[in-house]
Structure 1
């Protein structure tokens, strides 16, 4: 990351984060959320799945409620009290009109100025391949930001009383290999650490390392890697699309 990153816009009050799985926000972007909510902004979370296919040693029927509880607790640590689940199938989310409609409906209800999502590109950079769920939800979130404002796309939503909202000004993509902007998360890092640690069931199935050591190392790597492109400050980077 050699290009200098611009500061994220600050003239907004409401954001909606749209991701595929429990823990997607906690692996980095939650530090920005903690910073924003700490400054009085409102952030809500929308998850396409309950993460039921995410733990190899736990059957989906048991994993879903576990990961839902972990997500609610993790969100609370960074000041997010509204968390919604769409119940698309974990691991096989399909990009298409159904997913776009579900996200557009949530955007219309929450009326955010900023939509946040996770990397929609094919890779994390280089040859580190991204997952189908991340790609599908990221792309659908970007598209749904426009869909939400057009009453003739998914007109059935208006028939249900979910009126168009054309107030999304930006879509910010976390963990993109093509970042353009960043947020100083000096104030939000410890809350983000606690947020990620709420996913203890997931982390303990993922690694034999001590959960706190694992989580702190992961988050520090990300914020410190961004720092040289953002005035030396620990930061979370985003690829920002303006509308």
Structure 2
């Protein structure tokens, strides 16, 4: 199936994922492309990544992963990174999560919301994590919640119904793609900003770059031979 060029007639994007590094596998190159066009992009992470490293206490890991996520975002032109306080590895879908995401949507007023994949399978053919599924579904529902003034009536923020596009990052059912050819290296640098995390996992910079290149090249046959990152338009 040929992938369609993802539309870029929007100005503000909110990216909603579960953990630090969820954007960087492999979505940071499109972010670099969009910020280079002058678009505003914000990140919202449901957790602080405290359960990410077996060899490090949650308190230490949290500080490390938040700091490295902020550095990773900076590499692709994003200076607005917000963390919620849901427990890494135990995030639950529910009204609290929907409400918190809806509040940020109302505050940021995006016309595009990019969401971590909520489906059972990941784009790489592996089973998707429970946290990813919970946050993805909550974010999809929160877009509608944010537009309805009679949902979460205790929120001070005014409803926002201006979301024009919604898409999934890392979905197994890709419909569109973003050309990453000129921004691949920025995407690599963004991933490598998780330097201590990657090093602790035994991932070298060479293997991380090779993995990203494999992901981007896999899109090319369905995208006119161009390196790209695939998205599922909802």
The reply to whether TM is greater than 0.5 is: yes
1:213 aligns with 2:206: yes
Pairing partner for 1:33 from 31, 34, 37 = 31
Query: Which residue does 1:190 correspond to in 2?
Result: 185
Q: State the match for 1:45 in structure 2.
A: 43
CA deviation after TM superposition for structure 1 residue 126, in Å: 8.7
Q: Please, which of 132, 136, 139 is the counterpart of residue 138 of structure 1?
A: 136
Where do 1:35-184 residues align within 5 Å? 35-124=33-122, 128-157=126-155, 160=156, 162-184=157-179
- The gaps in structure 2 that reach 5 residues or longer are none
Listed one character per residue, the Cα deviations across residues 198-232 of structure 1 (whole Å, up to 9, x for unaligned) are 1011111222x42x112201110110000111000
In the aligned structure 1, how far is the partner of 2:229 from the partner of 2:18?
19
Tell me how far apart the structure 1 counterparts of residues 124 and 160 of structure 2 sit (CA, whole Å).
37
Once residues 128 and 223 of structure 1 are traced to their aligned partners in structure 2, the CA distance between those partners, rounded to angstroms, is 17
Residue 86 of structure 1 aligns to a residue in which SS? strand
Of 119-128 and 19-28, deviating more is: 119-128
Distance 2:73 2:166 in 1: 20
Distance in 1, Cα, partners of 2:145 & 2:14: 15
Aligned length: 234
Partner Cα distance (2:123, 2:214) in 1: 16
Answer yes or no: is the 8 Å Cα contact 2:123–2:170 preserved in 1: no
C-alpha displacement of 1:129: 1.1
Q: Closer, same or farther in 2 for the Cα pair 1:127/1:84, shift >3 Å?
A: closer
| Alignment correspondent of 2:230 | 237
Quote the offset at 1:77 in angstroms. 0.3
Structure 2 SS opposite 1:155: coil
Q: TM-score, normalised by structure 1?
A: 0.94
Decide whether the 8 Å contact of 2:27 with 2:169 is kept in 1: yes
Unaligned residue ranges in structure 1 (runs of 5+): none
For 2:4 and 2:187, locate their aligned partners in 1 and report how far apart those are by CA, in whole Å.
22
How far did residue 188 of structure 1 move?
A: 1.2
Kindly state the Cα deviation for residue 66 of structure 1 after the two structures are TM-superposed: 0.4
Q: 1:7 offset after TM fit, Å?
A: 0.8
Q: Deviations over 1:164-215 (max 9, x none)?
A: 00001111101100000000011211111111001011111222x42x1122
